[in-house]
Chain A
């Protein structure tokens, strides 16, 4: 499977079976997305009922195409899929994605249909992704073989999702976020290409730095653990596992036809194979960007704030997360006390509250002094917007410190508002994560120390 998947993620030619320009259809979404990468590879439209799409001729059948096809994308009604897959197999394509739904996730006829197409492709050794999936995107090479709403930004996160619709929302959301993707793969029913195959694929992919997964259930628990254990030692793996409750599990089984085991057992499996278990979609990407942008660090955290309340919230969460907050050393306290930037009433301890009237110079002195202390490995910098708070300048100070201490992790907490959102965007463009809430920031800080 390993080498065969290269035609799936690096195709020189793609045939779309079920291509159409009828607006609002899956086929037209695929046409638009594939078209956006037309300079990178050859495209062929297959639809017996149309003459041309995007000014290019269509083919009656994939067999009519004379050139070799690396990837066949199938988006036709379920009943027609077996025939189309048979043709793609005869054409000796490199790999196949079946987008169409109406297989094992529906009824026994659907399951039979799924077995039928898998038998066809397996006999010929052609990998099949899907059915019942959104498709595959690889932004760094402008490959978008999906009906996603637009092309998400390129970056270091590989997102593998059992659910296609959820992947669509993640892509939509990514337009407002500052992280990007190396790969996005929705594998739907996982009839042939499995999560384990995709894990190995993401492991080998040079642009992938972090692997984020939405999972409902597995069919190959032991193999998964073996793969995850090995891969997580090189690239962090984060999983959002759905179906925690019995009712949730029943919903999952009718969704992607997966046989979900007990959630507690899954959690044990994740723990034993070095996988981070996120509890929400938000957390999945909170952690993914932290793990992509920041170094892995030892346990030892300092908190810097200009507002007492936020400092207390952050400290509570640090304790809950098992993060150690070292006392300020005498040298650190002396340095802070000698500086004339701090207000008289400042108490020099960790968390360090530099009070609401803190200007950028005070932030700079505090950040640099705290990072100089050797047992401070990560620093959470909290800003509440006060009259004297210059968010943009403070962000620049944070970015400078991150450059000076590349082995330490700097995390920003600032609620995005009218006055702060520009500064936050700028900071994240420097690959320093910002979180709107100290709880989110501290939970992200914890995964860096594991």
Chain B
């Protein structure tokens, strides 16, 4: 299994109408600076490297970059990390953290996963699964099955998530997995949701590698 570059990842997602926060990948510092100074700040800067599961674990994520000094420092540190393919520069997003994913099961083929993000997904394993393809009704049912569902409905001042839009994204993710059989796994984590928009903030796609 190998991880495809971030640029290809977001292109593929865009082709299936899965919205990704505005992002670009750079190797040239000057170009990156130009992009940074014209974008909606603050920015997030992250490493793009092959075969990493968590960018944060290799100190490959810098958030809330608001000035060139911060930008330069982040750039220098990211460039020192072994195996770097490029520097991802993104707009920052806030909202409710969600996760979406796909895994290819030996018996059933691609399976889509939806869950609440952050600590909830890791500790509580609060996720629901469906074998694809699924329709919009099934995707909505799937969303309502997570234990923390009330968090999506505007619980105590949290934003109410646009569930129809979320369901559409899940259906599209299922199509993406079905139509691209070389994909072994997709990890969209986090996905940030507010009442107005849902954006994939980080995305990783693994495909079958030739050696296997």
Query: Which residue among A218, A220, A221, A265 has the maximum number of chain B CB atoms within 10 Å of its CB?
Result: A265
The answer to whether the Cβ of A264 comes within 8 Å of any Cβ in the partner chain is: yes
The answer to whether the Cβ of A329 comes within 8 Å of any Cβ in the partner chain is: no
Query: Which residue among A218, A267, A272 has the maximum number of chain B CB atoms within 10 Å of its CB?
Result: A272
Q: Is the CB of A221 within 8 A of B105?
A: yes
Give me 4 other A-B pairs in contact (C-beta within 8 A), A221-B131, A265-B108 excluded. Answer: A264-B129, A265-B129, A267-B129, A268-B108
The answer to whether the Cβ of A119 comes within 8 Å of any Cβ in the partner chain is: no
Q: Is the CB of A269 within 8 A of B106?
A: no
Given the known inter-chain contacts A225-B131, A259-B106, A272-B130, please indicate yes or no for A265 contacting B138, CB distance below 8 A: no
Q: Is the CB of A222 within 8 A of B108?
A: yes
Q: Is the CB of A225 within 8 A of B108?
A: yes
**Residues of A close to B128: CB separation below 8 A:** 268
The answer to whether the Cβ of B109 comes within 8 Å of any Cβ in the partner chain is: yes
Bound-state Cα–Cα, A268 to B138, Å: 11
Q: How far is the CB of B141 from chain A (nearest CB, A)?
A: 9
**Residues of B close to A83: CB separation below 8 A:** none
Interface of B (DSSP majority class)? strand
Bound-state Cα–Cα, A217 to B106, Å: 11
**Residues of B close to A262: CB separation below 8 A:** 105
Bound-state Cα–Cα, A269 to B105, Å: 11
Q: Is the CB of A259 within 8 A of B107?
A: yes
B107 CB contact (under 8 Å) in A264, A265, A267, A272 = A265
**Residues of A close to B111: CB separation below 8 A:** 265, 268
The answer to whether the Cβ of A219 comes within 8 Å of any Cβ in the partner chain is: yes
| Beta-carbon contacts under 8 Å, B128-171 to A | 128-131, 134, 138
Q: Is the CB of B109 within 8 A of A222?
A: yes
B105 CB contact (under 8 Å) in A219, A220, A261, A272 = A261
Bound-state Cα–Cα, A218 to B109, Å: 13
Q: Is the CB of B107 within 8 A of A221?
A: yes
A residues contacting the other copy or chain, number (CB 8 A): 16
| Beta-carbon contacts under 8 Å, A209-225 to B | 217-222, 225
- 25 A-B residue pairs with Cβ-Cβ distance under 8 Å, sorted by A, are A217-B107, A218-B107, A219-B107, A220-B107, A221-B105, A221-B108, A221-B109, A221-B131, A222-B108, A222-B109, A225-B108, A259-B106, A259-B107, A261-B105, A261-B106, A261-B107, A262-B105, A265-B105, A265-B111, A265-B129, A268-B128, A268-B130, A268-B131, A269-B108, A272-B134
Q: How far is the CB of B134 from chain A (nearest CB, A)?
A: 8
| Beta-carbon contacts under 8 Å, A302-351 to B | none
**Residues of A close to B134: CB separation below 8 A:** 272
Q: How far is the CB of B133 from chain A (nearest CB, A)?
A: 10
Bound-state Cα–Cα, A265 to B128, Å: 9
The closest CB in chain A to the CB of B138 belongs to: A272
B131 CB contact (under 8 Å) in A219, A220, A259, A265 = A265
Bound-state Cα–Cα, A351 to B106, Å: 47
| Beta-carbon contacts under 8 Å, A239-280 to B | 259, 261-262, 264-265, 267-269, 272
**Residues of B close to A261: CB separation below 8 A:** 105-108
Q: How far is the CB of A249 from chain B (nearest CB, A)?
A: 12
Q: How far is the CB of B156 from chain A (nearest CB, A)?
A: 24
**Residues of A close to B108: CB separation below 8 A:** 221-222, 225, 261, 265, 268-269
Query: Which residue among B108, B130, B131 has the maximum number of chain A CB atoms within 10 Å of its CB?
Result: B108
**Residues of A close to B138: CB separation below 8 A:** 272
